[in-house]
Structure 1
């Protein structure tokens, strides 16, 4: 089985930081990813999709302290589906991306910047968790 996602986009809001009962930091963010394509009439169109991202542990600490709205990032991770029941008894679900690596590509003022030739010291692979028990999934 393979469950890998790689996206390049811009943060749509400042990261939100919270802590699990274990004390591990969780940082949530949202990115906008645009694509250009030709429609059936041959006209160029642009479509933007929005994705919710979560990061844990050391990566979450760095994301929470170093990124803000407008930054361009590349995210590598996997899809996860949260399932819950609403107060009215409806079964609900939402797909999100759990980040394993996040690299800074550009700052908000760099709207037309090309990706940096080297990644800034932001990404931390998931292997940097203390142990498998530290990963909350």
Structure 2
């Protein structure tokens, strides 16, 4: 099973990339913060960053989730997303190395 639910803040305004074949994808990232206190009551905070993508036309995400995010959310806004993990691989033209990363493909988004 590949289901991810995250609640965070957008790190920037969404970037919309258009392809020659007419497809579009929304790219952004979430900042996921966690605050905790140790046994001496010292406050600790850590933030992780996760890349997210949403297709404008997707069989499973045909509810306009990319349009919804692009229209209603800006940098710093809180958002909750549901999606799935996907590993992307590519060949780096500058270094010649094979590269990869894991992104979240967003299938649903909610005000947070």
| C-alpha separation in 2, matches of 1:96 and 1:40 | 35
**Larger helix fraction of residues:** 1
Equivalent of 1:102 in 81, 103, 109: 109
TM-score of the pair, normalised by structure 2: 0.82
1:50 maps to 2:49:
yes
Gaps (5+ residues) in structure 1?
106-137
CA displacement at 1:94 relative to structure 2: 1.1
**Larger strand fraction of residues:** 2
| C-alpha separation in 2, matches of 1:46 and 1:66 | 28
Partner of 1:36: 35
What is the root-mean-square deviation in Å for CA atoms of aligned residues? 1.7
> Using CA pairs below 8 Å that are at least 6 residues apart, which structure has the higher relative contact order?
2
Q: Is the 8 A contact 1:25 1:61 kept in 2?
A: no
| C-alpha separation in 2, matches of 1:34 and 1:40 | 20
1:78 maps to 2:77:
no
Look up the SS of the partner of 1:46 in the other structure.
strand
